[in-house]
Amino acid sequence: MRILIVEDDERISGYMKRGLEAEEHDVEVAHNGQEGVDMAGSGSFDVILLDIFLPVKNGLDVCKQLRESKVTTPIFIMTAKDTQSLIKDVYRAGADDYFPKPFSFETLMRKINKINPQTNGSV
pLDDT in tens, 60-90: 999 999 999 999 999 999 988 777 888 899 9
Region 2-115: CATH code: 3.40.50.2300
With cut-offs at 50, 70 and 90, classify the pLDDT of residue 20. Answer: very high
- What pLDDT was estimated at residue 72? 93
Give 3's strand partners. Answer: 27, 47
- CA nearest to 7, candidates 69, 80, 68, 86: 80
Identity of the amino acid at 89: D
**Whole-number pLDDT of residue 103:** 87
pLDDT confidence of 122, banded at 50, 70, 90?
A: very low
Rounded to 5°, angle at Cα 100 from 94 and 101: 130
Domain boundaries, the chain: 2-115
Q: Where are the alpha helices (DSSP H) in the chain?
A: 10-22, 33-42, 59-68, 84-92, 105-115
Burial readout 49-86 (b: 16 or more C-beta within 10 A, e: otherwise): bbbbbbeebbbbbbbbbbeeeebebbbbbbbeeeeeeb
Which of 40, 39, 35, 2 lies closest to 21 in space, CA to CA? 2
Other CB atoms closer than 10 Å to residue 37's CB: what's the count?
21
What local confidence, expressed as pLDDT, does residue 121 receive? 41
Among the residue ranges 34-38, 44-48, 100-104, 118-122, the one predicted with the least confidence is: 118-122
